[in-house]
Structure 1
Amino acid sequence: MTMWHALGRQLGNPQGMAGAWVGRIMRIANDRPTRIAVDALDLHRHEVALDLGCGSGHAIALMAQRARCIYGIDQSAVMVRQAGHRNRAAIRAGRVSVTTGRFAALPYPDASFDKILASNVVYFWQDEQAVLAEVRRVLRPGGMLSIYVTDAATMRQWKFACSGTHRHFTAGDLARLLTDAGFDGDAIEVRPVAISRTIQGLLATAHHRAPCPASS
C-alpha cells in the first residue's frame, strides 16, 4: 500500500490515531466547501436535518445554529467521537444526535428529515444508488438534499485522490447520479463553485417532490 493510498483510505473511513489527525486536518481544509453546502440547504428553525457523513462535526455545529434538530451519521467511530465532542453542549440539550452507521441502511424512519447534507462524502460510497434510495426514503416529500464534491479536474491533481480510493465526478456525473436515483430532473441543479484559485468544486441540490394527488 502506498502512502497516498493509505491517506485516501483514511479520508474515506478514518481509523485510529492517524484517522483522528486526518479528521482534524480535513475540518480545516473543508471549511469553505462545508459552509457552501450548508448555506445551500437554507435551513429554518422548525426543520430537522441530517448530516450524512458527518466527519468531525463541523457541519453539524453550523446546522445546529439554524435548525431545530440535527442528526449526524458516519461509518467511522473515530469521527463520531470527534463530532460528539465538538457538539457536546447541543447533544446535552437534545438538539443534536450522532451515531455510527451504514449509509445504505440508515437507522431512521421514513420521511424523518426536511434537509440532508452530503458534503465531501459521495466519493466513497460503494453503492451510490443504494445510499440515495435510503436518502429518498428518509427525506420528507418537499425536502432537499445538498451535495458537495471537488470537481474531477481538480481531484486528478491530488495523488491521494488518484489511488483508487476516490470516485471522481463531473457536473454531468452528479446530475446523472441523482436522476438515476429517482430525483426529478427539473428539481436537480448542479453548479460550479470556486473554493480557491486552484480548487474547483461542484454543488448539487435536489428536491424530493411530493407525489401529485391522484385525479378523481
Structure 2
Amino acid sequence: MESCSPNMGKPPGNIFEIAIVLFTLYALIYTAKSLIKSLFRLLIEMKMKMKMKMRARVDKDMREKVAAVESLLCYCFKDKKHLQEALTHSSYKDSPSYQRLEFVGDAALGLAIAENAFRVYPKLIPKKFSLLRAANVNSENLARVAVRHELYRHFRHKEHSFEASISKFVVAVEGEDDNVPNCKSVKTPKILADIVESVAAAVYVDCS
C-alpha cells in the first residue's frame, strides 16, 4: 500500500500566485481602459466647449450691441456671431454682412405671419392671407419696428448717408399718433427693414 504525500490533492502555491498576478493585471487593464475612456470624453467635452466659445465670440466693438439686442429680444444666442452678422451692413467690410440673413428673414417673417393668421382666423380665405401678410411684412412697418424697439441704434456700417435719412424717419415715427401714421411724407430707409428681417433670421437660424 502506497503512502499518501501530505501535499497530494493541493494545488501548488505558485498557481495561487499566478492567479493573483493575473487578477491584478486584469484590474489594472480595466482601470486603465476606464481612465482612457474618461479622458477621451473629457477631451471631447473640452473641444466642444472651446468650439462653442470660439463660435460665440464677437468683435469687441459689438459686444455691448449684441448684449443689448439679446436683452431686447429676451433671447440668448447660442452662436452670437449670428446676431453680430445680422447687425452688420455690407459697407462694413471687416465682417460678414446681413445680406444672407436678410433673405432668410423675409421668408421667416412671412411664414410666422401666415401661420399666426391661419390659427387666429380659421375662416379667413386664402386671398386675405396674402393681403394680411403683405400689410405686416413691408418695408415701412418693419422700419417702424426697428425705430420703436431702437434696433437702429445697434447696427454698424460705414455709410455716412444713412444717418440723415434714419434720423428723419425716427423723428417722424416718434411723432406718430397710435392711429395716425406720420411717416408717409418721409422716405422709409430700407436699411431699417433689412435689420428687422436679419435679426428675425438670426433667431430662426440660431434656434434651428
For this structure pair, what is the TM-score category when the shorter chain's length is used for normalisation? Answer: under 0.3
Q: More helix by proportion, 1 or 2?
A: 2
Choose between structure 1 and 2 for higher RCO, CA contacts under 8 A separated by at least 6 residues: 2
Q: More strand by proportion, 1 or 2?
A: 1
TM-score (norm 1): 0.22
